[in-house]
Amino acid sequence: MNVRIGRFHRHFKALCTILVLALVLLISCANRTKVGSTNAEPTDTVLPFAADIVFASNREGNYDIYVLHTGTDELVQLTESAGNNNRPLWSPNGDHIAFFSDRDGNMDLYVMDADGHNPKNLGNNDNDILSSFSWSPDSTQIVFKLDGLSTVNVDNGGLVALTDNRLFVTNPVWSPDGSRIAYITSSSQEIYGLSIIELQTGQTIQLLA
């Protein structure tokens, strides 16, 4: 048992280190792109619902998604389904919330309006989707694990496969400028590496192995 715990701690620390490096590399790449660009247009960055907190709770039995309006202490329940709804994440523009739900039998990726209306299944997968996901900076797409990594258009549900399913992939993170996605890779669940895919060319760069 102690051996297993020790191995878990080592793998967990390695995974955390890789994720931190991925964020640093993506931000660094985005900054270099902005500095070198001569025709880039300035954009405004707005924090979604700065006074609101979205979270999942099982206070009513199943896990559902709530929003706490911290300015008024008002608590609003956004989901009421027979299944479990969890891991909510605001879109960067604050218009939508993506989340995982097993309301249709499998754990799948859903998106709904910020007020809880118009929920829709974006994954429509036969198997549970257990990996994390990431919004694109312009709030139009989400990258998540579907066999390999895929992106899905939030409006029309269009899927684009980025990687095949031969490697274990998880924890995708979109770069701030939207041009790259970093993710964790492994040929077994024991050895972790870090890769970046250039979305315009489809080129994959392995940074750590």
Tell me, yes or no, whether 145 and 207 share the same domain. yes
Q: What is the pTM of this model?
A: 0.73
Q: Write down the pLDDT at residue 106.
A: 83
Nearest to 132 by CA among 146, 114, 118: 146
Give the list of residues 6+ apart from residue 174 with CB closer than 8 angstroms, or none: 26, 134, 135, 136, 137, 143, 180, 181
Nearest 10 degrees: Cα torsion 121, 124, 126, 128: -40
Same structural domain, 104 and 53: yes
Residue 21 lies in a domain: yes
Number of domains in the chain: 2
Last residue of a domain, one of 112, 130, 148: 130
At which residue do the structure tokens 């709030």 appear? 139
**Domain range enclosing 73:** 46-130
pLDDT tens digits along 153-199 = 999 889 888 887 666 888 899 999 999 999 988 766 566 788 899 99
Residue that terminates a domain, selected from 130, 157, 172? 130
Same domain, 85 and 141: no
> Which of 113, 130, 147 is the last residue before a domain boundary?
130
**Do 67 and 115 fall into the same domain?**
yes
